[in-house]
């Protein structure tokens, strides 16, 4: 009985297509992403997105909702929002501002999105959130390593130049 229901639900979304109805296709693309902490995402900071929604269908998309979920691997971050979309005309696009979403935990994070009742093409965004002490160490350590490498190269160049003369 359950397998019969699963089989029926697999074909139900396609029933409207075969009867001549047009299904809207929405493509979602992240245009920009900004962290309140600067270049690296840090625990306790925020992330904001600009998302372009493009209606690839031949009919207008009206009175729809876009759901957004920012979640972390350890579930410390679990922010969600629903955005109302009054209308997107056929073959046109609209840009939405998403967030800010607070990043509560470190590790892998993912932004998920979707719309009900229509084909929705979206590639989830993934990024890693770092502890503040790790970023502080990197911001001091990398310049020191670069300066040390520069001194070594300069000293080798200087020795070689003195040996030639």
- What pLDDT score does 159 carry? 73
Report the CATH number of the 23-130 domain.
Answer: 2.60.40.10
Tokens standing for residue 18 = 């075969």
Look-up of token digits 């520069």: 150
Domain ranges of the chain: 23-130, 132-165
Q: How many CA atoms lie within 13 A of 142 on its CB side?
A: 6
111 close to 99: Cβ distance less than 8 angstroms = no
* pLDDT tens-digit series, residues 89-133: 999 999 999 999 999 999 999 999 999 888 899 999 999 999 887
Is residue 2 pLDDT above 50, yes or no? no
């Amino acid at each position: 009985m359950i397998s019969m229901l699963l089989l029926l639900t697999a074909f139900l979304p396609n029933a409207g297509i075969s009867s001549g109805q047009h299904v809207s296709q929405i493509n979602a693309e992240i245009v920009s992403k900004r962290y309140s902490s600067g270049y690296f995402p840090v625990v306790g900071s925020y992330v904001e997105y600009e998302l372009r929604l493009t209606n690839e269908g031949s009919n207008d998309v009206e009175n729809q909702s876009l759901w957004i979920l920012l979640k972390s691997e350890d579930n410390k971050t679990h922010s969600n929002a629903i955005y109302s979309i009054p209308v997107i005309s056929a073959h046109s696009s609209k840009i939405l501002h998403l967030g800010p979403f607070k990043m509560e935990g470190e590790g892998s994070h993912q932004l998920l999105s979707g719309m009900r009742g229509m084909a929705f093409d979206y590639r989830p965004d993934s990024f890693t959130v770092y502890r503040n002490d790790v970023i502080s160490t990197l911001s001091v350590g990398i310049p020191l390593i670069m300066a040390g490498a520069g001194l070594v190269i300069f000293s080798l160049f200087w020795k070689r130049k003195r040996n030639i003369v």
